[in-house]
Every structure is written in structure tokens, then in C-alpha cells.
Structure 1
């Protein structure tokens, strides 16, 4: 291909990919194109592409629409576009001439993206598109338009209202909303610096509107719908040329002398000033890559439905993996390797979870991490906008139920909550934590604590001209805009900035146009609350299959949300402090290995039971054990011969007693046991210490403490076994077990093989069982020594004695091993091939080349640094051999 257009989703990846491609193709053959480059730089890149000077142009959405860029042979999309229409638009840039067919290639960056891209391809084949959503009654833009209209001429209030309603987005604009915006623009805001942002004169008697002094300038210089992100301008010295923009955080963290890349050119920082970075040409010195912070686009609802449909269609065919692979190849057009990856990925997931999560089948998965905490993952492929709303509301519900803040994240297909040691609950109950009737109120309160509200508030205040971008002919610095926006919050919505210690209950939300619009933007743009409400209503109506699973380690579908990037976080904890960092995941998992994945090792359970049961060597240690356990059945204690002698010694000292001739009890615990068993008799008679005797126990609390002591030493056990051992009716144990579960001490589940019904286990012991199970699995795949690995490499590369190949067929096999590997041209026949072939004959290589089986080429363009031209060919020039039609064989060879 003569010209290739490479689309990526982020500006940082754009610069990174352009840098790596320029190292292979030459710096003058590749450049980048994105919104942080100046308009002149972007136009220069477009003109070079038109003239055929560029072999590849790496771009973001800045080159997606409405630009004449000439003839493109191929479009490459790196990563998912998150939208069906975006993929069609980008691929449509290729073959943009009469009779030509657009040609594109997609390179997913993860297994979840592979499934998403496959769903996009099937949707395009079936003619499906995303639905375009028009913003409904944006009050911030309405305020801007009213100021602009009133600045030009005087308006009758009713006439202006009808004029605004004639626009489609404002077709349902109510008179109250219009009047509230007019009132806001007429009265402005009362802040600590006086009244401000009053842009119109309002004659309430005659119903007339006209602009105040300065309204025209404010509308012209500070208008627009695109928010100001506060990026720093990059100025090239000494020409004072505007190069582009850098993210504010990157600019502040940089120091003079740092070198970064922008537009595939290296620049050295000379000085960082307020709002701008002065740079000089770094003359090709190795740069770092800048970063830009922004909102990642959420996957469209239509594409989420396609992902769910594809998951279900593959799940229906997983009983015959070869047929499923062939179906993907035939139906979607995937290559066989990609189809096999999808089938193995979902096959291992089904083996572990018992199903494939879809939009009709939701799965809750819980597992321990290396720190002893637990991770809760909700598999729900509804897209990040719905999942973000669901995750924030769930996090708020957990906070109110357990009085602890949680770390959480939401991706396109899952939500994760990092639980602490104090969180214990029946897993299936989480599906019932949110109700459609109260979810919106809970989500709004959660959203007010999230950074999204502050950001959207500043954007809306700027668009509504409450905060001006330009004043006195100069741009208002972004920090000042933030301060002014914060002053507006304090004036309009005091509870938002109030001290949490002075707040009683939920924040009271005022009925103000900007507050209402900001909340609407958060619920409808950043998130999708109507979609979440439909899901919750469907769950309440029983329209979904709800499955809860406790696993020993995370399933493959958890990997992406465990490694989520900062834009997916629902709290303010930085990346290095995430509890998900304590989770170890496997690099790969096939279906066969996954069969034993979710089961706890019975030998690990037996080992933990053995370790948990006390083994006292002295009377004092037996006394300590009885204090911890509360009471020990005499039958169990009698099986340990050494216990009887120690018990007799303690009994003679008055430190232990036997209750109802069946329970051994420490004297200090006698009041507790007597509260649990009123009327019980003990022998020998003992007198508890005054401090213990003074404690008043209810029967429920006493039973709870006896159950606690029992769980600390027996490992996984059932309620029936606990009741039989302690002599407590099972009905009386329900309250005790529920209380222990609520405080995070005990967990319920199915742990032991061959045991019917629900078992209970102390959290610390269960974490140890999980750890021992993982240790056993890891020992089955122990790493080899470096010497063993090198011996394997020598044999694999046909270098070791006895492993060298022979004849032309052996040469073809050796070249397959080295397919796409580039090294000095003179080294192939002098060193590499003779070391791998017995009695190597150069005629063998000539025969393979003449037959067309092997082709030679160069993967990197070596350049002369002094004159900037291609270096002359020599024996040191890099060369690679590739089999015809193989993965390393480009059509240009």
C-alpha cells in the first residue's frame, strides 16, 4: 500500500505509534495528526499525505470527518472504536474514489476488545448502526443563546421563548425552565466578590429582554459548546510558532531540559510559564511521550447489544469448538487465529462460571486477593455508561450498609468492588441491593462526591457564560476559571462544598438551572441512568438469569477490569494504591485447566482444619484454647489423650469445669455458657472472676460467641454440625451466623467436596484455604532453571548437537523458525544457517528463493544520520527471510 491511514483512540498512543513507525519507515515517511497539534501542523500533515510524501499517517478522530485528505489505500484501526458508525466512517476514508472499495484492518488490544471488534464487524455486515442521541433541552447552551440574542436586539419574552422552542433540542422546553434561565441571566450570582454574570436587562412589566453592557463581547469571545480542558500552549522559540498543546498535569510535572515528542518531532523544554510551555527544537534527541487526560468514550448501547448477542451465539456452539471457530471465520470474516482465541477465552470462562455473561445472564463473582481481602466482580456487558452508574450506586449502598468506603471501577463489560475484611454477606443478595424506585436518589448523592460533578459544573458554568473564558481581551487562566466556578457552587449549592461533619443526612439539591443541568449531564451523558433503571426493573421482574459464584482465583473475564486504567475508577485512589494490585492473574487459561479452577483443594481444607485445631503442650495452652473456643465438646476433647491429664490438672486448680457432663469450659467463660444454656449444671463447682461474673449476656449474644469460637478452630462446617457439637438447636443458630456474617467474621458457601448444603467458615481460615489451593496449582507449573531453558533454546533453534537439520527440507524448517527475524545480510550464509544445518549448501537457499517459497526484505529503513538519506546497502544491512503467505510476508516484498 502506498498510503496507509492508522486510527487510534488516544493522543498518547498516536504519538507512540508514530514514533515506532518512523523508526522502521523513516521519520520523513510517517507523522501524527491529533487535536493537540496546531491547525498549521495538521494542515501540513494533510498536504503531505495528499502529495504522497507520507507512507503512513497516525491519527485520532481529528482526521475522521469532513477533510479532503486525498487517496488512501488502507485504513488500520488500532483498538476498538466503541461505535459501529465510527468504524464505518474511519474505514470509509480508504478507497474514496469512484469504483474503489474501502479496505480496513482492525487490531484489537485485548481479548475483550477482540470480541467487541468481532461484534462490530458482524453488525456492519448485517447493516446495523448506532442510534444518534440529540441532547434534550441543554440549559447551559440555552443561556448562551439568550445572551447572544439579547445582545443583538431587544426581544419580547414570549417571542424569544417560541423561537427557542422551534429548535429540535428545545421542542419540549417548559416555560418554567425558560423563565428560570432568564432569571439567572438577569440577576446573576451573588458571590463573596459581589454580584456577577448578569448579562441581560429584564423588564418584567413589559416582558422585554435586552443585553447589558459587555454581553455582546461575552457571547462572542466566551461562547461555544466545546469545554476548555486547560491545556498548556506549546510555543517554539525563537520563531514564537504555536506548535500545539500539552495536558496541564504533564506541563506542570515537566522541568526545563526535558524532551518530549509532539507531532512526531522532538522538542526540548526551555521554560514552563503560566498557561504555556516554551520549547526549542531537540534535533532528534530521544524523547518521552506526553500524556493527555480526558474522558474515554463509552461503548454505544447498540454495540453492547451486539457484543452480548455474539457472546450468546458463541456460547451456544462451545460444545463443538472447531465448529464454533469455523462459524466465526465464515460469519464474521475473522482469521482462524483470532477465532480460536475467542472460542478458547469464552470456553474457559464458561468452564469456570458455568455460563457466559450476557445482557440476559448476569454473573457475580467473588474471590480472595493476596492481601486477604476480597474482590467482587459483576459481569454485566451493558457498556461503561450503564456500568459506571451501577458501580457508583452500588459503592454508595455498600458505604451506607457497612460504613466503609470502597474502591471501585467500571469497564464496558464489568464492575469491580474491592472488599475489605469487614465485608461479608450472601453473594446473591448483592443483586437486590439497588431498587428502581430509590436508585436515582442514591446515584445522585454518590455522583455529588465524584469528580465528574465538579468537572461538568465548570463546563456548564463556562458554556452558560457564568464563568468567562476571555476577559479584557485576554484569556482567563484555567486555575482562575476553576476558582470562579467553585465560588458559583458555594453561592448556588452550598451543601456541595460544606464540611461533611456539619451535614446531616443527604445533601439538599437546589432547584437552579445550572445545578439541574449538571446533574442531568452526569446522569445522561457521563452515565446512562435510564438504561440502568431498565436493567433494575428487569431484575425485579425476573427477566434476567442471576448467578453468583465464589471462585479460587479470578476468571478470564475479570482480567480487564482488574487492570482497568484510571479513567475507569469510581473513586479517587491512585493507580498504585488500588487493592486490585493484590490480585495475581494467569497469563492464559485453557478449557482443560479451567475444569478444576473453581474448586477448593480438599487436601488444603484438611490441612487448614488440622492447623486450626489447637494442639496444647501445657495446661496453660489448653486453658488458652478453651478461652478462645468458649466450649469444647467432651467427646472431641476425649479423642486427644494428652488433653485429659492437662484438664484434670486445670480442674484441680479451679480453672476449668464441665457443663452438663458434655462441654469443657474455662472458668472465665462459665457465665457465657450459662447464659446460652439456662439451668445448666457444672462439675466441679467453680467461681468465675468478679469481672467476668459481672458481665450480663443475652442468650442470643452468648450463642453467637460460642459459634464464633467454634468457627475459629474447625474450618468449613455446616450449621447442623455446629448445633450437634454445641447442643444448640439449628433454629437458634440462624441469628448467630447472620450476625457473624454481617460483621465480616464468617462466610457462607459450598467449600468441601461431597458435602450437601451451605457451609460456614471463618474468613481468615477460608483465605488460607484459597492460598493453599493456589499454591498447589502454582507448584504444578514450576519454572525451569536458566540452564534448562537455554538447553531447550539450543534444541529448538537446531543448534545443539544432534538437533541440526539436513537438506532443503531442513532448511525450510529452519527458515520457518526465523521467519521475520532481521539480522545482517552477510551473517545468514556465513554463520546462522551453517550452524543449524548439516553440510549446508548455498544452492538449497537459491532453490527456495527461485521457487518463490522464500522472499527477502528489510523491515527497518536504515538512514544516514549526517545527511538524512537512506544508507547504502552492505553486508551489515539488515535482511529478513519470510515464507510466502506467512505472517511476516508483506505484499510489498
Structure 2
């Protein structure tokens, strides 16, 4: 710092997410000519060598020309007329660009504010809190922000309202951030400094003023001496140290002391994890930090792990990193940020926060779809960002060449306890896994088993899920999915296009039913869409329908639909899974579907339809309910949630008098009524009669201990209308009923309870105990 040495700064190279964002913003202001826009983009340094093919792929993404029908949930932002080469913005594009623009990732922070009217001067804003911190906080908690303590008064969806709490003990908040990692140049300088400290050359020369204090020098020298005593060598830029020590359960902890920073260590750790898994067959749980790499290896009787597991051929190492980064946690996190910058995530509402967990769910849904298409622009941009902006692969390659050439050495040492330098590394390692669940590490990314869910449901005796769905909810969801429900109908020309894109080919009459405009307006909109070749007519199942231009190749390859000769070539490229896309879209646009319904819709044989449905079921995309009823997995979750809500709304608490009446009816005190609100509508005592009635009461109250006087004065007379003591004597004389005192109430002779002889004999009591109880009853 004092020498004025700065790290190298590398501008982003072809950031496609920023390109997508700026294209939407520019098109929202005025129509763009594609070729002119491409030339203008390449004048900016980050895109000066942007390939035209990648540029066109980005425009395809923005205009909804996705590689699969799975992307149908993500609405296009632009309209690209390939014949005229003009880009125009769709409704809402300008608002989206204004509210969701920028490159700083949205972390879903909560604003911390003072209550309204309590700010003395300036803004109400106190600061920000992390979403996880707020989730773990409660009203009246005391937290510290800045130099002041604050009491949480209220937690809303977007804000935390606080009031000053001076002088109160408070807990410190935390923010989960992702640091950029130490640059390799700085790491090498830190390593050189450690060598100077270890050699004693630093303190023998002129010491900078900021290190001239005696205590500072003593502390630094003490730390260096302790590290040297533990490992024999102080690690630095020219000499790395591999430390081995046992953990608490006897496994090996492998700690590589290296100063080159996390940007170098993280990609290196990916390759190390793969090698350890190949050698020992276990997940190494490798964690990288600025000061080194920590891994865990199961206890083995063979050769101890040595420095060889850290050495790779440079070219091979880079290849391993490129192949492994796509399945890393870093890739998933960066994909969410890239998708948000490309305006593929839900738009932000000014003044409101979007919860980070919801962003993650939405991004995971998009990633699950897009990961099967490696040329998808956001996938490409995420890979570029990881490999260029996050990882420093050129520095890793240089380090590996120096290690293989002997310019940098690695020494390995075995210690009984972690060395001083390993303390901070292990603290971060423990923090990485402290809150992880017991799920197997590999299974956090893939399912453990592929089970036949229907067979498993039969084995467990579970109810068919279809039986739990509310018929009224099914009808409501069907109307909503088909855009027939109030408030769900399309508007304007773009609304008609969205109907064809989301629901598939339809007749003019079907489109008119789902549009708010008149028949004349719908006809005019359709003429415009036909004129600019965004839709085309097609004969499907003997009906003339209108289809979205993006479906041209899909309909041709799946159903053999004859296409108009004037269609642009760009829409005629082969589609990977055309029939699968058509089926999935149809299932996602309906509540419940039968195989016959699909066969009729697409004019296909029933065998072809059932085979395709079984494939979709095996992939977990659809469910087979009762007999021949099929439903999309997404739609089923919606139906189940709405049915549950309907059931809860139908279950409402009754009045206390109604509940009391029910108890009395079940006890036989009052006769059953037709729901009369009167608590005592009948004055006649009891609803049972005769000896059988007495037996029924005793059956109902078997095992209940009560004072003996209550049985014949209140309990039995209230339930048996013609009760007399002779009825109970008859039951006792025949042995059908016996009386027995509670074991711990022997001295309290007034408390007894009634037990059946049959129940007593069926219980797991010793015979002597049974005979003793019977003798005591007979004596009575």
C-alpha cells in the first residue's frame, strides 16, 4: 500500500446479462434496428469482440424464442421482427428496465426505520438488516446498529421498525455476504512478508512506524515462532505447507497453508475434491479460503495423504475446473444474480423488497430448465462470470507451473493438534458445515432413489391424491388456466399473442372467448399479427387454428402439420422434444386431463399418447391420479393448496353452546337434535332405558374414577331415564360389571371406578392379581 502497488483490474468480457438489460432499456425508449444495435454495442470495450451468434441468442432469449416449451413461464420482453430486423418493446418492458436495472445483486435486505413522526431531523432510515437476521429476530429484541442500541418495535413484510434503546445490552447483527477473495498479487506479497518475518530479516532492518511498538513486534515474533515449532516451516509464497492432523472422530484433516487467496484456492479445491473422491470414494468436504484449503479424508490404514493430491498438470487442472464449476454452489448463486440482471426474474416493486428465498426458488426453477441447454445465454454468462470474474485461472495456472517446476515447494507434516495458522482455517471450516442437515452431501444435488410413486403409495396404503381435490377448486383452476376466469382474460394485441404462446394453437372463436375486446377488435389484432408473421394458420385435428410462430417447427415435427411456405427460416430449425413440449404445455394449461382428451386434441393414437405420458411421469413432470386422469406436477400443487384452503375455510368454529350440546348428546344426557341452538331443548332425563342402557353408560365411562355416591345419584340417573339401583345390582350379580378401588386410593373408600370383567381379563395382568381383584369385588 505504501509503495503504491495496485492489483490488475480486468473489465468484464462480453457480459451477456448486462447486454440483455441494456437492450431492453434501449428498445423501451425507441425501436431498434438489430444490425445497427449490434454495431453500437461492439463500440463498448466489454463487447468489442462479441460474436454475432451469441448476440442473436441473447435477442432470442429476450423475444421469447426459447429452445424449449419449458420456458413458457418466462414472458418475453421484446418483439423481434426477423424480416424487418426491428426490435420493439412489449408492454411493461420500460417499467421492468427502470425498476429492476443495475448490476448490484438484490439480497432482499430489510430497511430499518424509525416510527413515523419520531424522526427529529433528516431521514427515518437507520440502516439495513439481512433477511436471515430478521428471521431470527423477534419484537422487543435489542440490536446494535452503528454506535446505538435499538429495540425492535415491529417487523413488517419489508421493514423493521425500531426505537432507540440507549444503554441496553444488545446483540450484534450479521450480514451474509460473499467477499471477492484476495487477489493473487496481494497473496504473493503477503507470502513474501511471511518469509521475511520467518528469516528475521524484516525486524533487523528499518521497521515501519506502524510496526515499531514493542508489543506488536513481540506478538508477531511469538506467532511466527509458534508456527515454526508446530510445522517446522513457516508457509509463504515460495514454500507451501501441507498439514495433517486428526479430528475429533479420528478422520484426517488436510490443511494446505497457502497465501494466494480464495480466487486461486476455490477452483483448485474443486479439482482436489474430485481427486479425493476418486481415490477414497468419499466426499472430501473441501473448503477454500484466502489462507488455504481444508479437506477431510476418512481414516485409512493405507498411505497417508501427501502433497501429490494437490499437484496437477496445468492444462488438465483447468479442464477439470471448467467441467466441475457447473455443479458447484457458486454456479447456482451466480446464476440467480445473472438471471436478475438479464431481467428474467420477477420485477421489483419500488418500496417493496423481494424475499431472497423466493428469488432462489424462482432462479432454481429457471436453472432446472436451462441447464439442459448449455447455449442458453444466462448459462453462458454464469460460466463466464465464474471462470473469469470470480476465479483467477491464469494465476492458478502460473502457480501450478511453478509447483511442478520446483520454483515453489510443498512440505508435508503431521501434527497432533492444529497449528496456529490452521486455527482460523478450521474455524471457517466448522462454520461452513455447522448448520447443514443430515442429508448425504451428494444427495443435496441429486435424488437418492428413483421410486415408482404409485407403487409406493399402494404399499403404504395412502389415499389417492386425486380424492383430496375439491371439485369446485378444480373448476376454478381450469377456468384460470384457460384464461376464462374474470380478470384473467387477455388484453390488446400482445395479450392475444401470449394466449397462443401459453395455451397453444386455438381457433379464432376460442381466442375471442379469452379476450376482453370485441370480435372486431380481436379480428383486427389477429390480422396485424399475421401481417408481421408472428402467428400463422395451421390445420390441427381437422380444425383451422392459429399458432404462434415459435411453434412452427414443433408442430411440424410432432404432428406433421403442413407449414406455409412463406415462414422465415429461423423458425424452421428442428426441436429436440416437440411432442413432449406440446403435451407439457397442454397439461400446464388444464387442471385434469385424460389420455383420450390429448389424443383428440392432437389427433394421435392412444398408444402414442400413453407412452409419452408414462415418460413424463417417470421424469416427475406429471402425475397419474385416478385411473386415466393426468395432471401436471405444477398444477397439482396449485390444486392441492387451493383445496386445502377451501377445506379450512369450510371448517369454522361453532358456538360454545353448540359444543356443550354435542357433549351432552354423546353422553346420553340429551337426545340428538336437528341443530337447535337451545342448550336444553329437552327436559326429559336421559336417552337410554333399562339394564342395557346402564351397561352402555358403563361401557362409555369404563376406567373413569368417580366418587361412589355420584354413580347412583347423578351419573346413571341422568343418562338412563328409568334407572333404579336394581339394574346395577343385576349387572354386578351376573359378574358383567365389577367394582374396584384404585390402587393409590385404597384409604379413600369413597372413590372407586367401574371395570368390565372382560376388559380386566384381556389386560396383561398376572392371574394372581386378577383373582385378588375379583375376590375384593365379591366381598363387596
C-alpha distance in 1, partners of 2:32/2:163? 53
Gaps of 5+ in 2: 119-123, 439-780
Query: Which of residues 297, 302, 306 is equivalent to 2:189?
Result: 306
C-alpha distance in 1, partners of 2:397/2:286? 20
1:289 and 2:289 are equivalent in the alignment: no
- Indicate the residue corresponding to 1:673 in structure 2: none
- Indicate the residue corresponding to 2:235 in structure 1: 357
Deviations 1:178-215 (A, max 9, x none): 12211111126567683424111112223222222221
C-alpha distance in 1, partners of 2:222/2:388? 36
- Indicate the residue corresponding to 1:215 in structure 2: 93
C-alpha distance in 2, partners of 1:424/1:332? 50
Q: Which region of structure 1 is more displaced relative to structure 2, 397-406 or 221-230?
A: 397-406
Relative to 1, partners in 2 of residues 1:548 and 1:142: Cα closer, same or farther, differing over 3 Å?
same
- Indicate the residue corresponding to 1:522 in structure 2: 386
- Indicate the residue corresponding to 1:430 in structure 2: 308
Relative to 1, partners in 2 of residues 1:566 and 1:468: Cα closer, same or farther, differing over 3 Å?
farther
The 8 Å contact of residues 251 and 299 in structure 2, kept in 1 or not, is answered as yes
C-alpha distance in 2, partners of 1:421/1:446? 26
Give the CA deviation at 1:445.
5.2
Alignment of 1:438-453 (within 5 A): 438-444=316-322, 446-453=324-331
Relative to 1, partners in 2 of residues 1:255 and 1:150: Cα closer, same or farther, differing over 3 Å?
same
The 8 Å contact of residues 186 and 198 in structure 1, kept in 2 or not, is answered as yes
Query: Which of residues 571, 574, 577 is equivalent to 2:435?
Result: 574
Give the CA deviation at 1:223.
0.5
Give the CA deviation at 1:219.
0.8
1:256 and 2:135 are equivalent in the alignment: no
- Indicate the residue corresponding to 1:536 in structure 2: 400
Q: Provide the secondary structure at the position in 2 that maps to 1:268.
A: strand
Q: Provide the secondary structure at the position in 1 that maps to 2:242.
A: strand
Q: Provide the secondary structure at the position in 2 that maps to 1:133.
A: coil
Give the CA deviation at 1:460.
0.8
Q: Provide the secondary structure at the position in 1 that maps to 2:187.
A: helix
Query: Which of residues 152, 158, 177 is equivalent to 2:29?
Result: 152
Give the CA deviation at 1:289.
1.6
C-alpha distance in 1, partners of 2:204/2:77? 66
- Indicate the residue corresponding to 1:171 in structure 2: 48
Alignment of 1:544-563 (within 5 A): 544-563=408-427
Query: Which of residues 143, 151, 164 is equivalent to 1:268?
Result: 151
Taking structure 2 as the reference length, the TM-score comes to 0.51
C-alpha distance in 2, partners of 1:311/1:213? 60
Give the CA deviation at 1:431.
4.2
Q: Which region of structure 1 is more displaced relative to structure 2, 178-187 or 449-458?
A: 449-458
The 8 Å contact of residues 188 and 195 in structure 1, kept in 2 or not, is answered as no
The 8 Å contact of residues 328 and 339 in structure 1, kept in 2 or not, is answered as no
Deviations 1:134-167 (A, max 9, x none): 2222111111011111112222222211211111
Q: Provide the secondary structure at the position in 2 that maps to 1:329.
A: coil
- Indicate the residue corresponding to 2:9 in structure 1: 132
Deviations 1:361-403 (A, max 9, x none): 2221212234322211112211121112222321232123322
C-alpha distance in 2, partners of 1:270/1:128? 48
Relative to 1, partners in 2 of residues 1:399 and 1:294: Cα closer, same or farther, differing over 3 Å?
same
Relative to 1, partners in 2 of residues 1:423 and 1:452: Cα closer, same or farther, differing over 3 Å?
farther
- Indicate the residue corresponding to 2:275 in structure 1: 397
C-alpha distance in 1, partners of 2:301/2:377? 40
The 8 Å contact of residues 257 and 269 in structure 1, kept in 2 or not, is answered as yes
C-alpha distance in 2, partners of 1:350/1:283? 47
Q: Which region of structure 1 is more displaced relative to structure 2, 536-545 or 470-479?
A: 470-479
- Indicate the residue corresponding to 1:63 in structure 2: none
C-alpha distance in 2, partners of 1:476/1:191? 27
- Indicate the residue corresponding to 2:722 in structure 1: none
The 8 Å contact of residues 99 and 350 in structure 2, kept in 1 or not, is answered as no
The 8 Å contact of residues 365 and 376 in structure 1, kept in 2 or not, is answered as yes
RMSD over equivalenced CA pairs, Å: 3.0
The 8 Å contact of residues 261 and 290 in structure 1, kept in 2 or not, is answered as yes
C-alpha distance in 2, partners of 1:280/1:463? 36
C-alpha distance in 2, partners of 1:270/1:289? 17
Q: Which region of structure 1 is more displaced relative to structure 2, 257-266 or 443-452?
A: 443-452
Query: Which of residues 491, 503, 507 is equivalent to 2:369?
Result: 491
- Indicate the residue corresponding to 1:226 in structure 2: 104
Give the CA deviation at 1:557.
2.3
Q: Provide the secondary structure at the position in 2 that maps to 1:564.
A: helix
Q: Provide the secondary structure at the position in 1 that maps to 2:286.
A: strand
The 8 Å contact of residues 71 and 369 in structure 2, kept in 1 or not, is answered as no
C-alpha distance in 2, partners of 1:576/1:358? 36
Relative to 1, partners in 2 of residues 1:534 and 1:220: Cα closer, same or farther, differing over 3 Å?
same
Deviations 1:604-658 (A, max 9, x none): xxxxxxxxxxxxxxxxxxxxxxxxxxxxxxxxxxxxxxxxxxxxxxxxxxxxxxx
Alignment of 1:403-414 (within 5 A): 403-414=281-292
Deviations 1:105-161 (A, max 9, x none): xxxxxxxxxxxxxxxxxxx1x332222232222111111011111112222222211
- Indicate the residue corresponding to 1:875 in structure 2: none
Give the CA deviation at 1:422.
3.9
Query: Which of residues 60, 64, 87 is equivalent to 1:187?
Result: 64
Q: Provide the secondary structure at the position in 2 that maps to 1:561.
A: helix
Give the CA deviation at 1:551.
2.7
C-alpha distance in 1, partners of 2:426/2:202? 28
The 8 Å contact of residues 244 and 415 in structure 2, kept in 1 or not, is answered as yes
Q: Provide the secondary structure at the position in 1 that maps to 2:424.
A: helix
- Indicate the residue corresponding to 1:633 in structure 2: none
The 8 Å contact of residues 398 and 405 in structure 1, kept in 2 or not, is answered as yes
C-alpha distance in 1, partners of 2:219/2:350? 60
Alignment of 1:67-86 (within 5 A): 84=1
C-alpha distance in 1, partners of 2:206/2:429? 30
Give the CA deviation at 1:429.
5.0
The 8 Å contact of residues 225 and 463 in structure 1, kept in 2 or not, is answered as yes
- Indicate the residue corresponding to 2:83 in structure 1: 205
The 8 Å contact of residues 191 and 491 in structure 1, kept in 2 or not, is answered as no
Larger-gyration structure (1/2): 2
- Indicate the residue corresponding to 1:339 in structure 2: 217
Deviations 1:245-264 (A, max 9, x none): 21101111111221212233
- Indicate the residue corresponding to 2:597 in structure 1: none
Query: Which of residues 372, 376, 379 is equivalent to 1:512?
Result: 376
The 8 Å contact of residues 407 and 573 in structure 1, kept in 2 or not, is answered as no
Q: Provide the secondary structure at the position in 1 that maps to 2:207.
A: helix
C-alpha distance in 2, partners of 1:419/1:440? 24
C-alpha distance in 1, partners of 2:416/2:284? 22
Alignment of 1:569-718 (within 5 A): 569=432, 572-574=433-435
Relative to 1, partners in 2 of residues 1:472 and 1:383: Cα closer, same or farther, differing over 3 Å?
closer
The 8 Å contact of residues 272 and 310 in structure 2, kept in 1 or not, is answered as no
C-alpha distance in 1, partners of 2:206/2:221? 9
Relative to 1, partners in 2 of residues 1:558 and 1:479: Cα closer, same or farther, differing over 3 Å?
closer
Taking structure 1 as the reference length, the TM-score comes to 0.45
